[in-house]
Amino acid sequence: MPRGAFTLIELLVVIAIIAILIGILLPALGAARQTSKSLLCLSNLRQLSLGWAMYADENREVMVPGRAPNLPGGESNPDNWYEVGNGMKFRPTWLARIGGYVGIYAFAEPSTSDGRQDYTSNVYVCPSVPEWTDERNGAYGYNYQFLGNSRVTADKYHNFPVQRSIIRDFSQTVMAADCMGTAAAYPHSDRLAYDNNGREERAYGNEGFNLDPPRLTNASDKCSSHRSAVDPRHIRMVNAVYLDSHASTISPTDLGYATRGDGTALEQAEGDLVPNNRLFSGQVLDRDPPDLPGS
């Protein structure tokens, strides 16, 4: 054997050591990538949240609603068009409206005839779910029931306009968070993959721009026929931003949500599982969400 050459045993040992190191490093690298995505998501939420206060400043202390109602005439009615910073948009969600105040435009060319545009700015898209680009089926949901619900029933707004002055503690009131949409109302086994232009309630992200608070009542609104809830997409944790623009990574339980073992987000207490609206009500109290008109 030439001097300095490896024996077969030595070569196998080296290969085994390399394999062990790769096995150790890969999970760490994966976790680092997930952490990086979570930090970028937090940055997105912080940037966009700055526009929330600016919107209220310009609108006589009224907080931005989740989405404006569809007035008679639909796309042809200019009263359904709203400024989003770089043009007029047909019934934009809360997110596009506040983003325009900080110069982060949701769409390269906002449309006055399309209510299902895809976001063109990456700031509106959570990096852990980069395919969730539809403004309706988006990644970030708004605390609309307490902060501004401009849906209409019997010619009455559900909860709009809402003055910013009602907020008791901005630092303990969730503005928005990672949202799963209506898939949260179903067990893990019944959920479907994200559909960018879909309306299937079992699909991840469906109506993701609306975030229902942890606890609902029989008289309150909900995202659609099923509730929405937060999405623990960051290593089983959720990113949330508060009205004072600070953001944190927190568990669904610490946000007040109660979830069965199969993943279903509860609307009301069930045994020892008790949802709580303390961080959503604006009063740092477990208050009921507003009743629907006529309830």
| Alpha-carbon distances of 46 from 32, 99, 199, 203, rounded to whole Å | 21, 11, 29, 27
- Percent of the chain at pLDDT > 90 equals 85
**Residue type at position 291:** D
Distance in angstroms (rounded) separating the CA atoms of residues 79 and 84: 14
| Residues linked to residue 253 through DSSP beta bridges, in sequence order | none
Residue 22 confidence (pLDDT): 72
- pLDDT beyond 80 at 196: yes
Mean pLDDT calculated for residue range 109-114:
96
Indicate the DSSP class of residue 98: H
Distance in angstroms (rounded) separating the CA atoms of residues 273 and 232: 18
Residue 12 confidence (pLDDT): 73
Mean pLDDT calculated for residue range 102-119:
97
**What is the per-residue pLDDT across 173-191, written as a single tens digit (0 to 9) for each?**
999 999 999 999 999 999 9
Indicate the DSSP class of residue 290: P
**pLDDT band, residue 6 (cuts 50/70/90):** low
Question: Mean of the per-residue pLDDT values for the chain?
Answer: 93
Reading the block at residue 178, the tokens are 């990672």
Mean pLDDT calculated for residue range 210-228:
97
Residue 16 confidence (pLDDT): 76
| Alpha-carbon distances of 223 from 106, 134, 156, rounded to whole Å | 22, 16, 17
- pLDDT beyond 50 at 1: no
- pLDDT beyond 70 at 25: no
Residue 14 confidence (pLDDT): 74
Residue 3 confidence (pLDDT): 55
Helix (H, G, I), strand (E, B) or coil at 41: helix
**What is the per-residue pLDDT across 34-83, written as a single tens digit (0 to 9) for each?**
788 999 999 999 999 999 999 999 999 999 999 988 889 999 999 999 99
DSSP characters over 206-274: TTTTB---S---TTB--SSSS--EE--TBTTBEEEEETTS-EEEE-HHHHT--B-TTSPBPSS-BTTB-
- pLDDT beyond 50 at 237: yes
**What is the per-residue pLDDT across 240-283, written as a single tens digit (0 to 9) for each?**
999 999 999 999 999 999 999 999 999 999 999 999 999 999 99
Sequence-ordered strand ranges (E) for the chain = 81-83, 88-90, 140-142, 149-153, 156-159, 174-181, 229-230, 238-242, 247-250
**What is the per-residue pLDDT across 130-160, written as a single tens digit (0 to 9) for each?**
999 999 999 999 999 999 999 999 999 999 9
**What is the per-residue pLDDT across 27-47, written as a single tens digit (0 to 9) for each?**
755 566 878 899 999 999 999
